[in-house]
Structures are given as C-alpha cells and as structure tokens.
Amino acid sequence: MRALIQRVSEAAVRVDGETLGEIGAGLLVLVCAMQGDTEANATALAAKIARLRIFKDEAGKMNRALLDTGGAALVVSQFTLAADTSRGNRPGFSTAAEPVEGERLYETFATELRGQGIATAQGRFGADMKVSLVNDGPVTIWLET
C-alpha cells in the first residue's frame, strides 16, 4: 500500500457539501491499495503511521508519534497515488488495486488505525471529495509497504 501523510493542525473532507470527516491536530493520510496488496500490508502501514515519530517533543525535535500526542487521523482514499508517469503526459493507474479490493483494504487500514488507539475519521471511497487542510511544518512523508 502507498500513503502520503501530512502533519496537520486541522483537516476535513467533504462530499457534495457534506462534511464526512474532520480532525484537529494529527495526520491527513491519503492512501492507495496497489495490486497484490493484502490485509497484512494494511496492518503494517497502520502500525507504522501510528508510531512514526514526526511530532515535536519538548525540545522541538520530531520525536513523538501520533500515539504519543493523542492526535487524530483523517484517512482519504486516493487511487492517484498509483500514478505511473513514465510514459507520455497522461498518468496511468493500472497498478492500483481493483476498486472492490481497494475499498476492502482501505477499510481494513482505517480499522487497523482505530485498533492502534487512533481517533480516525474517513472520506468516502471512490467519491469526488474536497479535502482541506492546514499542513503543520510543513511535514509531508511518502510511505510504501
């Protein structure tokens, strides 16, 4: 699985003007299941994100994890993380998991984050979503299992 995480002071996701999820301080997690990914990949990614030390400690160093801060996660599916731009100018997305499998792994990932003790809000898989955020830092990190 692939994820792009952003440390945020706030973030929200809306569909057709309705707010589906919003958080204060924490992480916006854009996530994409790739062909061949399994539940083990979703579990491993959730565990990594919950423990990734990218929040400041008392000395101002990135030394605290989401679990340490009590922050939340906003999880948004984003198949475009599978973009292949190696040929031409139009990205291809054939390496993304098929939609049914992608949705299953997206839901597994969000459930696993909750299981790590992280308050987790979500977008809607496959929807045309509007995501707003205030990136804190900015801190943006790419992860792949």
Quote the percentage of the chain above a pLDDT of 90: 100
Q: With residue 26 as reference, give the H or E element that holds it.
A: strand 26-32
What's the rounded mean pLDDT across residues 25-53?
98
Q: Choosing from 6, 43, 55, 78, which is the catalytic residue?
A: 78
Residues 10-28 have pLDDT tens digits of: 999 999 999 999 999 999 9
All structural domains of the chain:
2-131 (3.50.80.10)
Active site residue 109: no
Percent helix, strand and coil across the chain, each rounded to 5? 25, 40, 30
Active site residue 35: no
What's the rounded mean pLDDT across residues 98-112?
98
Q: Choosing from 6, 43, 79, 120, which is the catalytic residue?
A: 79
Assign 1 a pLDDT band (cuts: 50, 70, 90): very high
Whole-number average pLDDT of the chain: 97
CB-based contacts of 64: which residues, under 8 Å, 6+ apart? 53, 55, 56, 57
Residues 61-95 have pLDDT tens digits of: 999 999 999 999 999 999 999 999 999 999 999 99
What's the rounded mean pLDDT across residues 96-123?
98
Q: Choosing from 19, 35, 80, 140, which is the catalytic residue?
A: 80
Map residue 10 onto helix, strand or coil: strand
